Protein backbone atom coordinates (compact mmCIF):
# COMPACT_ATOMS: atom_id res chain seq x y z
CA UNK A 1 0.00 0.00 0.00
CA UNK A 2 1.44 3.36 -1.04
CA UNK A 3 0.72 6.50 0.95
CA UNK A 4 1.95 9.00 -1.59
CA UNK A 5 -0.71 11.68 -1.95
CA UNK A 6 -1.86 10.51 -5.36
CA UNK A 7 -2.63 7.03 -4.07
CA UNK A 8 -4.01 7.26 -0.50
CA UNK A 9 -7.77 6.68 -0.35
CA UNK A 10 -9.70 8.53 2.34
CA UNK A 11 -13.28 7.60 3.20
CA UNK A 12 -15.54 10.29 4.66
CA UNK A 13 -18.45 8.98 6.73
CA UNK A 14 -21.02 11.71 7.25
CA UNK A 15 -19.29 15.10 7.49
CA UNK A 16 -21.74 16.76 5.12
CA UNK A 17 -21.54 20.15 6.86
CA UNK A 18 -19.96 23.11 5.09
CA UNK A 19 -16.65 22.52 6.89
CA UNK A 20 -16.77 18.80 6.10
CA UNK A 21 -17.44 19.43 2.41
CA UNK A 22 -14.66 22.03 2.28
CA UNK A 23 -12.17 19.60 3.84
CA UNK A 24 -13.23 16.86 1.40
CA UNK A 25 -12.55 19.23 -1.48
CA UNK A 26 -9.20 20.32 -0.03
CA UNK A 27 -7.98 16.74 0.33
CA UNK A 28 -9.06 16.03 -3.24
CA UNK A 29 -7.07 19.03 -4.47
CA UNK A 30 -4.07 17.73 -2.52
CA UNK A 31 -4.19 14.58 -4.64
CA UNK A 32 -5.94 12.17 -2.28
CA UNK A 33 -8.65 9.85 -3.58
CA UNK A 34 -11.68 10.77 -1.45
CA UNK A 35 -14.92 8.82 -1.10
CA UNK A 36 -18.05 9.66 0.87
CA UNK A 37 -20.82 7.65 2.54
CA UNK A 38 -23.80 8.99 4.44
CA UNK A 39 -24.55 6.25 6.96
CA UNK A 40 -22.94 3.49 8.99
CA UNK A 41 -24.76 0.94 6.83
CA UNK A 42 -23.08 2.37 3.72
CA UNK A 43 -19.79 2.52 5.59
CA UNK A 44 -19.92 -1.19 6.43
CA UNK A 45 -20.62 -2.02 2.79
CA UNK A 46 -17.74 0.14 1.52
CA UNK A 47 -15.22 -1.24 3.98
CA UNK A 48 -15.90 -4.67 2.57
CA UNK A 49 -15.34 -3.67 -1.06
CA UNK A 50 -13.04 -0.63 -1.16
CA UNK A 51 -9.32 -0.46 -0.32
CA UNK A 52 -9.39 2.35 2.25
CA UNK A 53 -6.26 3.90 3.78
CA UNK A 54 -7.90 6.11 6.40
CA UNK A 55 -11.42 6.69 7.73
CA UNK A 56 -12.75 10.11 8.73
CA UNK A 57 -15.85 9.39 10.78
CA UNK A 58 -18.45 11.86 11.97
CA UNK A 59 -19.14 11.59 15.71
CA UNK A 60 -22.90 11.36 15.20
CA UNK A 61 -24.10 9.38 12.20
CA UNK A 62 -27.79 9.15 11.19
CA UNK A 63 -27.89 5.48 12.21
CA UNK A 64 -25.50 5.38 15.15
CA UNK A 65 -22.64 6.73 17.22
CA UNK A 66 -19.01 6.66 16.10
CA UNK A 67 -17.81 4.91 19.28
CA UNK A 68 -20.24 2.03 18.84
CA UNK A 69 -19.14 1.53 15.25
CA UNK A 70 -15.45 1.68 16.16
CA UNK A 71 -15.86 -1.03 18.80
CA UNK A 72 -17.44 -3.21 16.14
CA UNK A 73 -14.82 -2.38 13.50
CA UNK A 74 -11.85 -2.99 15.81
CA UNK A 75 -12.83 -6.63 16.22
CA UNK A 76 -11.83 -7.22 12.60
CA UNK A 77 -9.88 -4.22 11.29
CA UNK A 78 -7.02 -1.92 12.28
CA UNK A 79 -7.96 0.70 9.67
CA UNK A 80 -6.62 4.12 10.75
CA UNK A 81 -9.56 6.27 11.87
CA UNK A 82 -10.13 9.84 13.02
CA UNK A 83 -13.42 10.88 14.61
CA UNK A 84 -14.52 14.42 13.76
CA UNK A 85 -16.90 16.58 15.76
CA UNK A 86 -18.45 20.01 15.23
CA UNK A 87 -17.34 21.12 18.70
CA UNK A 88 -14.87 20.03 21.40
CA UNK A 89 -16.27 17.47 23.84
CA UNK A 90 -13.76 15.81 26.22
CA UNK A 91 -16.24 13.13 27.25
CA UNK A 92 -16.96 12.07 23.68
CA UNK A 93 -13.27 12.26 22.82
CA UNK A 94 -12.38 9.83 25.62
CA UNK A 95 -15.23 7.53 24.60
CA UNK A 96 -14.08 7.38 20.97
CA UNK A 97 -10.39 6.98 21.75
CA UNK A 98 -11.15 4.11 24.11
CA UNK A 99 -13.37 2.56 21.42
CA UNK A 100 -10.46 2.48 18.98
CA UNK A 101 -10.19 5.84 17.25
CA UNK A 102 -6.62 6.91 16.46
CA UNK A 103 -7.47 10.58 16.91
CA UNK A 104 -10.35 12.94 17.70
CA UNK A 105 -10.51 16.35 16.05
CA UNK A 106 -12.85 19.29 15.76
CA UNK A 107 -13.87 20.41 12.29
CA UNK A 108 -13.11 24.10 11.81
CA UNK A 109 -13.09 26.46 8.83
CA UNK A 110 -9.28 26.49 9.12
CA UNK A 111 -8.49 22.82 8.50
CA UNK A 112 -4.69 23.13 8.33
CA UNK A 113 -4.14 21.30 11.64
CA UNK A 114 -6.58 18.56 10.66
CA UNK A 115 -4.78 18.09 7.34
CA UNK A 116 -1.48 17.73 9.21
CA UNK A 117 -3.04 15.11 11.52
CA UNK A 118 -4.36 13.12 8.58
CA UNK A 119 -0.92 13.12 6.98
CA UNK A 120 0.73 12.13 10.26
CA UNK A 121 -1.65 9.20 10.73
CA UNK A 122 -1.02 8.03 7.17
CA UNK A 123 2.74 8.12 7.80
CA UNK A 124 2.38 6.05 10.98
CA UNK A 125 0.18 3.54 9.17
CA UNK A 126 2.71 3.30 6.34
CA UNK A 127 5.51 2.65 8.82
CA UNK A 128 3.49 -0.10 10.51
CA UNK A 129 2.75 -1.79 7.18
CA UNK A 130 6.43 -1.60 6.30
CA UNK A 131 7.39 -3.23 9.61
CA UNK A 132 4.90 -6.05 9.03
CA UNK A 133 6.17 -6.55 5.47
CA UNK A 134 9.76 -6.65 6.67
CA UNK A 135 8.85 -9.21 9.33
CA UNK A 136 7.20 -11.37 6.67
CA UNK A 137 10.40 -11.61 4.64
CA UNK A 138 13.94 -12.57 5.56
CA UNK A 139 16.11 -11.65 2.61
CA UNK A 140 14.28 -13.42 -0.22
CA UNK A 141 12.59 -15.94 2.07
CA UNK A 142 8.88 -15.44 2.65
CA UNK A 143 7.74 -16.28 6.18
CA UNK A 144 4.19 -17.61 6.51
CA UNK A 145 3.44 -17.73 10.22
CA UNK A 146 -0.08 -19.13 9.85
CA UNK A 147 1.32 -22.16 8.00
CA UNK A 148 4.69 -22.20 9.75
CA UNK A 149 6.21 -22.37 6.29
CA UNK A 150 9.25 -20.63 4.82
CA UNK A 151 9.24 -20.19 1.03
CA UNK A 152 12.13 -19.26 -1.26
CA UNK A 153 11.39 -18.49 -4.91
CA UNK A 154 8.14 -20.40 -4.72
CA UNK A 155 9.64 -23.49 -3.10
CA UNK A 156 9.12 -24.53 0.50
CA UNK A 157 12.25 -24.91 2.62
CA UNK A 158 10.46 -27.90 4.18
CA UNK A 159 11.16 -26.85 7.75
CA UNK A 160 9.68 -28.68 10.69
CA UNK A 161 7.46 -26.55 12.99
CA UNK A 162 10.33 -26.30 15.49
CA UNK A 163 12.85 -25.32 12.81
CA UNK A 164 10.44 -22.67 11.59
CA UNK A 165 10.07 -21.22 15.09
CA UNK A 166 13.86 -21.17 15.48
CA UNK A 167 14.19 -19.33 12.16
CA UNK A 168 11.47 -16.89 13.19
CA UNK A 169 13.17 -16.22 16.54
CA UNK A 170 16.51 -15.59 14.86
CA UNK A 171 14.88 -13.57 12.07
CA UNK A 172 13.12 -11.28 14.53
CA UNK A 173 16.60 -10.44 15.81
CA UNK A 174 18.30 -10.36 12.40
CA UNK A 175 22.00 -9.64 12.74
CA UNK A 176 21.86 -9.81 16.54
CA UNK A 177 23.14 -12.80 18.56
CA UNK A 178 20.43 -14.80 20.35
CA UNK A 179 21.43 -17.00 23.27
CA UNK A 180 20.42 -20.63 23.54
CA UNK A 181 18.45 -19.84 26.69
CA UNK A 182 16.56 -17.14 24.82
CA UNK A 183 15.79 -19.57 21.99
CA UNK A 184 14.46 -22.04 24.54
CA UNK A 185 12.24 -19.31 26.01
CA UNK A 186 10.88 -18.22 22.63
CA UNK A 187 10.64 -21.54 20.79
CA UNK A 188 9.81 -24.02 23.53
CA UNK A 189 8.29 -21.77 26.23
CA UNK A 190 10.27 -20.39 29.13
CA UNK A 191 8.95 -23.00 31.57
CA UNK A 192 10.22 -25.88 29.45
CA UNK A 193 13.55 -27.37 30.57
CA UNK A 194 15.64 -28.22 27.55
CA UNK A 195 19.26 -29.16 27.03
CA UNK A 196 21.30 -26.83 24.87
CA UNK A 197 22.30 -29.81 22.77
CA UNK A 198 18.70 -30.11 21.57
CA UNK A 199 18.81 -26.48 20.44
CA UNK A 200 22.07 -27.15 18.62
CA UNK A 201 20.57 -30.11 16.75
CA UNK A 202 17.61 -28.07 15.51
CA UNK A 203 19.91 -25.23 14.46
CA UNK A 204 22.17 -27.67 12.62
CA UNK A 205 19.20 -29.08 10.70
CA UNK A 206 17.97 -25.57 9.93
CA UNK A 207 21.41 -24.58 8.65
CA UNK A 208 21.52 -27.56 6.35
CA UNK A 209 18.14 -26.78 4.79
CA UNK A 210 19.00 -23.11 4.32
CA UNK A 211 22.24 -24.11 2.62
CA UNK A 212 20.62 -26.76 0.41
CA UNK A 213 18.13 -24.24 -0.96
CA UNK A 214 20.76 -21.54 -1.49
CA UNK A 215 18.46 -18.87 -0.09
CA UNK A 216 21.30 -16.75 1.28
CA UNK A 217 20.32 -16.93 4.95
CA UNK A 218 23.18 -17.98 7.21
CA UNK A 219 23.04 -19.04 10.86
CA UNK A 220 26.40 -18.31 12.48
CA UNK A 221 27.60 -19.53 15.86
CA UNK A 222 28.57 -16.79 18.30
CA UNK A 223 31.07 -18.13 20.81
CA UNK A 224 29.83 -17.95 24.38
CA UNK A 225 26.45 -16.56 23.32
CA UNK A 226 24.41 -18.59 20.85
CA UNK A 227 23.46 -17.99 17.23
CA UNK A 228 23.00 -15.11 14.81
CA UNK A 229 21.07 -15.03 11.53
CA UNK A 230 22.27 -12.89 8.65
CA UNK A 231 20.93 -12.22 5.17
CA UNK A 232 22.82 -11.23 2.00
CA UNK A 233 21.77 -7.61 2.55
CA UNK A 234 23.30 -7.57 6.02
CA UNK A 235 26.56 -9.02 4.73
CA UNK A 236 26.94 -6.63 1.78
Domain end, chosen from 85, 105, 135, is at: 135
- Tell me what pLDDT residue 234 has: 61
Q: 128 and 30 in one domain?
A: yes
- Tell me what pLDDT residue 4 has: 40
Residue 99 counted as domain residue: yes
pTM of the model: 0.58
Q: Own/partner pairs for 60-64, CB < 8 Å, 24+ apart?
A: 60/14, 61/13, 61/14, 62/14, 62/38, 63/39, 64/40
Residue 1 counted as domain residue: no
Q: 129 and 27 in one domain?
A: yes
Residue 2 counted as domain residue: no
Cβ–Cβ < 8 Å for 11, 43: yes
Largest CA distance in the chain: 70
Domain count, the chain: 2
Cβ–Cβ < 8 Å for 43, 13: yes
Task: Provide Rg for the chain, Cα atoms.
Answer: 24
Cβ–Cβ < 8 Å for 10, 53: yes
Q: How far is CA 38 from the centre of its chain?
A: 28
Q: pLDDT tens-digit profile of 50-106?
A: 789 999 999 999 999 999 999 999 998 889 999 999 888 999 999 999 999 999 999
pLDDT above 80: residue 129: no
Query: Domain of 16: which CATH number?
Result: 3.40.50.2300
Q: pLDDT tens-digit profile of 178-197?
A: 999 999 988 887 656 678 88
Owning domain of residue 113: 9-135
- Tell me what pLDDT residue 189 has: 73
Rounded to whole angstroms, the Cα distance separating 220 from 218 reads 6
Residue 45 counted as domain residue: yes
pLDDT above 80: residue 148: yes
Q: Which range among 8-17, 127-136, 166-175, 212-221 shows the weakest confidence by mean pLDDT?
A: 127-136
Rounded to whole angstroms, the Cα distance separating 31 from 132 reads 26
Residue 3 counted as domain residue: no
Q: 117 and 152 in one domain?
A: no
Domain end, chosen from 66, 100, 135, is at: 135
Cβ–Cβ < 8 Å for 157, 164: no
Q: 194 and 127 in one domain?
A: no
Q: 179 and 204 in one domain?
A: yes
What are the residues whose beta carbons fall under 8 Å from the beta carbon of 68, sequence distance 6 or more? Answer: 99
Residue 4 counted as domain residue: no
Percent of the chain residues topping a pLDDT of 70:
91
Amino acid sequence: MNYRKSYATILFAGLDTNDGVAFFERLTRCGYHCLRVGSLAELRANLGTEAIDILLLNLYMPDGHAADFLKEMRTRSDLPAIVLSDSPDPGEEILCLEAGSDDFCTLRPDDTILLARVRALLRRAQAQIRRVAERNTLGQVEMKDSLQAAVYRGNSLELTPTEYRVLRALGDNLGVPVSRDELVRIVWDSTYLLEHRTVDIHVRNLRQKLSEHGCGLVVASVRGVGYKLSSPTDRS
